[in-house]
Amino acid sequence: MPDNDTAPTYARPGAPPIGVYPVMLETAGWDDYRLLDMGEGQKLEQYGRYTLVRPEPQAMGARRLTPVVWERADAVFSGDVEEEGPGRWRFAGSVSETWDMRYGPVSYRGRFMSFRHVGVFPEQAAHWDWVNAQIRAEKQRAPDRPVKILNLFGYTGLASLLPATAGAQVTHIDASKKAIGYARENQALSGLDDLPIRWICEDAAKFVAREVRRGNTYDGIILDPPKYGRGPKGEVWDLYTSLPGLLKDLETLLAKDALFMILTAYAIRSSFVAIHELMAETLSDRGGRLESGELLIREKDGNRALSTSLFSRWSGR
C-alpha cells in the first residue's frame, strides 16, 4: 500500500495493481431509499412509500427512534436470516405485492420476497455511480469505442440498466428465470427497451467458460455472487471453492485495455483482505489500482453507518 502522498495511485500494465485498503464506500440513500434506524438485531428502512423492518445481525446497538415509529412499519420480516433460510412477512394493513421506485434514469419494482429481500440492494449505489462515471469518461475519451460490460449474478437488473444508460453494451447473467423476468420488467418500467442489453438465464461459471473458449472479451465486469447457490441445471455454487476458478477465467475475459472489475461478497465469514488478496493475485500483471473494503449505508440523520458487504474494485486507469 502507498504510505505517502507522492506514491503512485495506479501501476503500469505488467505490474501488480496498486493496493489501497481499507476503503469505506457509503450511500446515504435517495428519494426512494433511506435507512431510518437500526438496533437490537433489526433495521428500519424506507423503500418508496413503505417502511420495512428486517433482520440485521450487525445492528447491535440501541435503537434511536421511539417504539411507536417502529410499530408503524408497513411490513416486518421474521425468520432465519441466512441467505437461503425460510421466513415470512407480516403486513400492517393493505400493502401492494409490488410497488415502483426510481434511481436516476431507471425505474424498478419492489417486491416482498421470501428471503427478506425486496428486489434491490441499496448499498450498491456506490458502485452504480462509479461504474457509470468510468463508462462516461471512456466514451468521452473514445466516443466510437463500444464499451462492453458483463454483469454476473445480475439479480433484478439495476447494475445492468444503469451502465446501459451511460452508453455501455451489457450482458446480464443470472441463473434464476424469475430474476431475469424481474429485470426485464424493470427495463420496460423504465421505458428503456431499446437499450443494448442481453438477458441470459444461465449458470455464471458455464457462461464464462464458454466465452473464454470463444475468445470474447469485456471492458468491465461486475461480479456479485451469493455465498451459496444453484444454476438452472442444478450446478452448485460455493463462494469459497468456486470463486478462485471463476476469477481466473474472468481475468482472461478482461480486454487488454479494460476499465474495471468489481467483486462484492455478502454474508460470508471473511475479511475484505481475503478477497483483496484473491483479486490482487488474479490481476497480478494488470497494473491499475485495486481498492478493497466495505459497503456502508448511512442512517438518514447521518449519525451511524451500517456495514452490509465486502468489496474489491479494480480500475485500469
Quote the pLDDT of residue 81. 57
Q: Which range marks the domain in which residue 44 is found? A: 33-111
Q: Is 5 a domain residue?
A: no
Residue 101 shares a structural domain with residue 216: no
Residue 219 shares a structural domain with residue 311: yes
Residue 229 shares a structural domain with residue 246: yes
As a whole number of angstroms, the distance between CA 69 and CA 170 comes to 42
Quote the pLDDT of residue 38. 97
Q: Is 244 a domain residue?
A: yes
Last residue of some domain: 111, 140, 157? 111
Q: Is 139 a domain residue?
A: yes
Q: Is 97 a domain residue?
A: yes
Q: Is 260 a domain residue?
A: yes
Residue 90 shares a structural domain with residue 73: yes
Quote the pLDDT of residue 133. 97
Residue 174 shares a structural domain with residue 105: no
- Work out how many domains the chain is built from and give that number: 2
Last residue of some domain: 52, 86, 111? 111
Residue 148 shares a structural domain with residue 221: yes
Q: Could you read off the pLDDT tens digit of each residue along the chain, which spans 317 residues?
A: 444 444 568 999 999 999 999 999 999 999 999 999 999 999 999 999 999 999 999 999 999 999 999 999 999 998 765 555 557 899 998 899 999 999 999 999 999 987 889 999 999 999 999 999 999 999 999 999 999 999 999 999 999 999 999 999 999 999 999 999 999 999 999 999 999 999 999 999 999 999 999 999 999 999 999 888 888 888 887 888 999 999 999 999 999 999 999 999 986 677 899 999 999 999 999 999 999 999 999 999 888 999 999 999 999 98
Whichever domain contains 43, its CATH number is: 2.60.40.1180
Beta strands in the chain (DSSP E): 18-27, 33-39, 42-47, 50-55, 75-79, 87-91, 98-103, 106-111, 148-152, 169-174, 197-201, 220-223, 228-230, 236-238, 260-265, 289-298, 305-315
Last residue of some domain: 111, 142, 174? 111
Whichever domain contains 168, its CATH number is: 3.40.50.150
Q: Cell 421474521 appears where?
A: 78
Closest CA to 162 of 181, 190, 143, 139: 190
Q: Is 2 a domain residue?
A: no
Quote the pLDDT of residue 231. 80
Residue 88 shares a structural domain with residue 154: no
CA distances from residue 73 to 42, 167, 293 in whole angstroms, order as listed:
12, 39, 32
Q: Is 288 a domain residue?
A: yes
Q: Is 137 a domain residue?
A: yes
Residue 219 shares a structural domain with residue 300: yes
Quote the pLDDT of residue 222. 98
Residue 98 shares a structural domain with residue 136: no
pTM of the model: 0.92
Quote the pLDDT of residue 1. 47
Quote the pLDDT of residue 3. 45
Residue 100 shares a structural domain with residue 243: no
Residue 185 shares a structural domain with residue 291: yes
Q: Cell 453507518 appears where?
A: 305
Quote the pLDDT of residue 27. 96
Residue 143 shares a structural domain with residue 160: yes
